Structure 1
Amino acid sequence: MQVHPQLQQLRDELRACFPEWQDVIDGAIAALLCGEHVLLVGPPGTAKSALVRTIASVFGTVLFERLLTRTSTPEELLGPMSLQALDEGRFTHVTTGMLPEALFAFIDDVFAASSPVLNYLLSLMDERVFTNDEALVPVPLVSLFGATSKLPTDAAQEHLLDRFLLRFDVELLHQPGNLRAVLTAPEPTISTVLGMEALRAMQAAVANVKLTEETLDAIVVLRDALKDEGLVASDRRWKKSLRLVQAAAFLEEEAETSPEDLTILGSVLWRYPHERPRMSRLVNKLINPAVYEASEILEDGREAAAKANALKPQHRRAYLAQATRALLLLRAQVEMLVRLSESASRRTRSIIDSAISELNELHATLARDVHSTQGLKLLK
């Protein structure tokens, strides 16, 4: 499968600008490739809008951005009413520069939408139309990115939530080295330029990626396994996920899908944030055991380092003991992942290498801290 080389360059540049967001970046690009929408769930200050703004610039278009409140009106999205039309008894929005003319949109605090705003958003996102003076007008929207600090509990908002095929629970940076890099780096800039013509061509190529019987069989197995765990998604959601799986294969330069491409569904099938880690573990355990093992090892390493850091303020002796155990564990875990990486596929190796990088940084940070503040010899 011939993938536009600049698309791979874009992935690399975005990963450099937004560390620890590999899944979000690949998911966002996959969403563009199949015309789906993305929800980013997380606290303010996690660079959600910066990522979307950067992606939009790559395709040569201005991002439509709005922050919704409970008092927001449809005019804030659709444009003001035409005074001339009002004089004629018609209700026509002037849409210049507004959401109905946008290719990409970022709506912050999206679940603050009032009922009138909600109704317009639903038709724009799902049917790509909006009602202007009682006429259905098609819109060119490719993808809408929503942001929120928490998911809705109001049943009326469930329909809007369902329109976001991909959902990411974004967090503050884990690795100190990445935080230092972000603090000292300039605002994200990307040299890649693609344009909408290239995006349309890639969307057509994604539609031609073959969905294999092996992939479809794996989806059935995965759905049944998740159902047994009480994690249920609608048939509609599974159906819409097929194009996303094709996009995942396309990003890996494959002409046909494989069960490994179903890993992206870990960001599709969850409803509540606390479900996402369990969902990802179950998907990886069934579809990609090597990624599952790497994730479990990484989580154990994070926990060991966190336990040591929690003891530091008040319990010097206990801290030294726990830090020593954590340093030894982290080093052993890196060796385990290196061995696991040797027999892994290309894309799995990339995920494992990312886990190795984080464990190495956890080790280096803990070792420096112990050495500088407690006088303990660094463990090599």
Structure 2
Amino acid sequence: MTTTVHAQLQQLRTSLMTRFPERRDAIDGALAAVLAGEHVLLLGPPGTAKSALVRAIAQAFGGTYFERLLTKFSTPEELFGPISLKALEQDRYQRVTAGKLPEAEFAFVDEVFKANSAILNSLLTAMNERLFHNDGAPTQMPLVALFGASNELPEGKELEALFDRFLLRFDVQYLLRPSSFRSVLLAPEPGCSGALTMAQLRQAQADVARVKVTEETVQALIAIRDGCRAEGIVASDRRWKKTLKVVQATAYLAGEAATTPEDLLVLTHALWREPKEYAKVAHVVGQLADPVSAKAAEVLDAARETAARVAALRSSDRKSYLAQAAQALEEFTAQQAKLKGLANGAGPRAKQALGDADQEIAQLHYELARAVSVGLGLGGAR
């Protein structure tokens, strides 16, 4: 493992999480996908910083970047370049690809499922084989990773293959915590200066390929596959094969030279096809990969739901709001105690997950207590 490159990646991860609060899973997954040379889909409503996050990651590596918003009227020229008039004079149908997707190392296609049949085949080939056929001649593309974004899931069988090309899929929603919202309101527009060169990224990718996939990891992955099948969630053999590269990248980012079942937690974002399947996948993967981290995630999700429920009552009956808030504060305390109880026998990364969950619940507790004290006219902490 190249220590300097690994340290720079960790610095990049920390920087991204500071500028993009409540996006830990998407950031970790995106970095692992880049290291594995895989593609990422961000699903969610407009205004959730999907494009800003992708731009920040692409800029961090200093790679050539291409971005396009698709509509149902988009043409192949928008992604792959206009037809060369000089080539037409010589009876050749050749595109001018300068500044377009065929020459990009990182790409972001917003509203990607608006791709029509004229675009679809070339886009699929670009993502799967890194090839672009220009006047019949296959040209190798330098594409490292393509990020797609959409406000909705694809409709129609013709888009299923495109959906399948995105190995990792993240549901990105509006910020929940008031402190996160406040920091985004007051912070400058997120950006990123170059943190690594493309040569360093290639070195990191080579290091990832050398991470040993242990038999314990393989057995856990097989068990996860069986568990998902029992829940009616089926993925292609190709997808399972590709996930191992991301598992290796996850281990590399954690500073390990060999994988462990803990690294399989990233599969939570690789196996669902509809958001409603996410909870089932998370449960199956969590129980078999890292039960402690999975339980920490369940406790944290419950705390977030409680915070959201109480926040929705703030503008309603004052007495009802205060009663629900008091109950929520007790729940937060109980949840933190539960997290402390899970720490016994937990591994290093599980302890990190517990610590992160405890920190967020403590912040939710503080913010709600402050809101209650302000509502009671007590001023609140500053």
Normalised by the size of structure 1, how large is the TM-score?
A: 0.95
Aligned to 1:296: 298
| CA offset digits 1:74-133 (Å, max 9, x no partner) | 111111111011112110001111111110000000010110101110010101111111
Deviation at 1:169, TM superposition (A): 0.7
1:353 maps to which of 341, 352, 355: 355
Summarize the Cα distance change of 1:83–1:242 in structure 2 as closer, same or farther, 3 Å threshold.
Answer: same
| TM-aligned CA deviation for residue 322 of structure 1 | 2.2
Q: 2: CA distance between counterparts of 1:310 and 1:209?
A: 47
Written as runs of structure 1 = structure 2, the 5 A alignment for 1:38-53 is: 38-53=40-55
Compared with structure 1, are the counterparts of its residues 310 and 85 closer, same or farther at alpha carbon in structure 2 (3 Å cutoff)?
A: closer
Give the letter aligned to residue 57 of structure 1.
Q
State the 4+ residue runs in structure 1 displaced beyond 6 angstroms.
376-379
Deviations 1:198-252 (A, max 9, x none): 1111111111111111111001111101111111111111011111111111111
Q: Which moved more, 1:365-374 or 1:263-272?
A: 365-374
Amino acid at match of 1:242: L
Which whole-Å deviations, capped at 9, do the CAs of 1:261-296 have from their partners, x for residues lacking one? 000000101101121233123211221111121122
**Contact (CA 8 Å) 2:231, 2:280: kept in 1 or not?**
no
Distance in 1 of aligned mates of 2:314 and 2:57? 42
Q: In 2, Cα distance between the equivalents of 1:306 and 1:85?
A: 59
Distance 1:191 1:146 in 2: 22
Note if contact 2:102-2:141 (Cα within 8 Å) is conserved in structure 1. Answer: yes
Identity %: 53
Deviation larger for 339-348 or 47-56: 339-348
The yes-or-no answer on 1:146 pairing with 2:161 is: no
Residue deviations 1:327-354 (CA, integer Å, cap 9, x gap): 1111221232234346432322232222
Q: How far is the alpha carbon of 1:159 from its aligned partner?
A: 0.5
Query: Is the contact between residue 10 and residue 192 of structure 1 (CA under 8 Å) also seen in structure 2?
Result: no
Give the distance between the partners of 1:366 and 1:75, measured in 2 at CA: 52
1:29 aligned partner, one-letter code: L
Cα displacement (A) at 1:22: 1.2
How far has the Cα of 1:313 moved from its partner? 3.8
Instruction: Say whether 1:228 aligns with 2:224.
Output: no
The 1-side partners of 2:51 and 2:284 are apart by 30
SS of residue paired to 2:10: helix
Farther-moved stretch of structure 1 (236-245 vs 298-307): 298-307
Q: Equivalents in 1 of 2:25, 2:145: separation in Å?
A: 17
Shift of 1:166: 0.8
What is the letter of the counterpart of residue 45 of structure 1?
A: G
Note the 1:1-380 alignment, pairs <5 A.
Answer: 1-3=1-3, 4=5, 5-191=7-193, 193-341=195-343, 343-374=345-376
Q: CA RMSD in A?
A: 1.9
Change in 2 beyond 3 A, CA 1:302/1:53: closer
> Residue 192 of structure 1: CA displacement?
5.3
Q: How far did residue 375 of structure 1 move?
A: 5.2
1:161 alignment partner AA: F
| One-letter identity of the residue aligned with 2:219 | D
- Is the CA contact (8 Å cut-off) linking 2:176 and 2:308 kept in structure 1? no
Hey, what's the Cα distance between the residues in 2 that align with 1:74 and 1:359? 48
Task: Name the count of aligned residue pairs.
Answer: 379
Secondary structure of the residue that 2:132 maps to in structure 1? strand
Mark the CA change 1:304 to 1:59 in structure 2 (over 3 Å): closer, same or farther.
closer
Distance 2:169 2:133 in 1: 28
Describe the SS at the equivalent of 1:147: strand
Instruction: Judge which range, 321-330 or 339-348, deviates more.
Output: 339-348
- Does 339-348 or 5-14 show the bigger shift? 339-348
C-alpha separation between the residues in 2 aligned to 1:75 and 1:377?
59
Query: Normalized against structure 2, the TM-score is what?
Result: 0.94
CA shift in 2, pair 1:230/1:322, >3 Å: same
- Contact kept, 8 Å, 1:341 with 1:353, in 2: the verdict is no
Residue 53 of structure 1 aligns to a residue in which SS? helix
Compute the displacement of 1:2 (Å).
4.2
